[in-house]
């Protein structure tokens, strides 16, 4: 049960942090139409995050009190749990500190320029598409239902980001160089998607997805688009690691400061 909760949190944290990153583009898109495209995608991810957080909270609330304590390191959340209160999606999003977040490092990387945002989206969307295709078959019916709904959204995200990779790569000299640089810079963050945590290994095969097994297909799909975009596949075998186990880049702290400030300063505030 603990692994099922941690696993679900991993998925919700990916969606929340990545969705938040995309929301930072709101009002700053290169043109109105793409500004709306990005905020649409951001809202898709926030919706996914909510569904996963609700599921994680339900699983957690069903645990015996003794098993609840100590699952999180975050003081604000633990205090609530110690009092015997049940937790909800908002508690999980707003009351956990960075070390309790289990999102992939790639999702918290800064937006950078347009090519960087596209490269990050392209790697992550391609992965998510393959991932949800498998999660749809989960024995955890709640996860399967969220995956099925999300797959439609992600199918569009993947098409959107791949088209932009091709447009920029096969565009002007300047856009080509920027796209290649962005693909290279984010490449070390792709390995983590396929390196499985203990929770993932435990869940794989029934309720969860064997992500290591998705790598070949992912590489093939990414390479096909990169090739069509007249770009080169990045090289380098060394990969960043740690997000899924709560070890993050410095960027996450800034995201959480902005994301959580209101609820931390004015607990329980509604609007």
Partner 1 sequence: MPEQNSNKNEWPLWEVFIRSKAGLDHKHAGSLHAIDANMAIENARDVYTRRMEGVSIWVVESKYIHASDPDSSGALFDPANDKIYRHPTFYDLPDELTHM
Q: Which residues form the interface with partner 1 (CB under 8 A)?
A: 31-34, 36-37, 40, 156, 159-160, 163, 167
Question: Smallest distance, Å, CB 131 to partner 1?
Answer: 23
- 3-state class (DSSP) for residue 79: helix
- Residues in CB range of 96: below 8 A, 6 or more apart: 72, 74, 76, 77
Q: Which ranges constitute the DSSP H helices of 170-208?
A: 173-186, 198-203
- Residues in CB range of 225: below 8 A, 6 or more apart: 122, 126, 162, 165, 166
Kindly tell me which of 32 and 269 has the beta carbon lying closer to partner 1.
32
Question: Smallest distance, Å, CB 135 to partner 1?
Answer: 25
- Cross-strand pairs, 204: 208
Take residue 176 and report the two structure tokens written for it: 């080509």
Number of residues that make up the chain: 271
Kindly tell me which of 82 and 159 has the beta carbon lying closer to partner 1.
159
Question: Smallest distance, Å, CB 124 to partner 1?
Answer: 19
Kindly tell me which of 36 and 73 has the beta carbon lying closer to partner 1.
36
Kindly tell me which of 28 and 83 has the beta carbon lying closer to partner 1.
28
Take residue 243 and report the two structure tokens written for it: 């997000």
Q: How many CB atoms lie within 10 A of CB 182?
A: 24
Kindly tell me which of 33 and 250 has the beta carbon lying closer to partner 1.
33
Question: Smallest distance, Å, CB 25 to partner 1?
Answer: 13
């Amino acid at each position: 049960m603990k692994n099922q909760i941690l696993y679900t949190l991993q998925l919700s944290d990916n969606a929340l942090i990545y969705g938040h990153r995309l929301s930072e583009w709101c009002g700053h898109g290169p043109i109105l139409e793409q500004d709306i495209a990005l905020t649409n995608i951001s809202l898709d991810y926030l919706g996914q995050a909510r569904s996963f957080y609700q599921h994680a909270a339900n699983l957690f609330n069903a645990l015996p009190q003794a098993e609840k304590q100590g699952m999180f390191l975050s003081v604000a959340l633990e205090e609530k749990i110690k009092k015997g209160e049940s937790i909800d999606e908002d508690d999980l999003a707003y009351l956990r500190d960075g070390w309790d977040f289990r999102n992939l490092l790639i999702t918290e990387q800064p937006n950078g320029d347009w090519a960087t945002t596209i490269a990050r989206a392209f790697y992550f969307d391609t992965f998510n598409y393959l991932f949800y295709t498998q999660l749809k078959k989960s024995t955890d019916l709640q996860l399967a239902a969220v995956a099925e709904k999300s797959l439609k959204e992600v199918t569009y995200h993947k098409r959107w980001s791949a088209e932009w990779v091709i447009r920029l790569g096969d565009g002007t000299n300047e856009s080509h160089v920027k796209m290649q640089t962005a693909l290279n810079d984010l490449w070390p963050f792709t390995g983590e998607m396929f390196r499985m945590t203990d929770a993932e290994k435990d869940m794989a095969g029934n309720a969860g997805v064997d992500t290591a097994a998705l790598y070949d297909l992912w590489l093939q799909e990414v390479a096909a688009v990169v090739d069509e975009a007249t770009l080169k596949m990045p090289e380098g075998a060394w990969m960043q690691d740690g997000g899924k186990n709560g070890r993050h880049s410095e960027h996450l702290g800034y995201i959480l400061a902005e994301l959580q400030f209101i609820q931390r300063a004015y607990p329980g505030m509604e609007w």
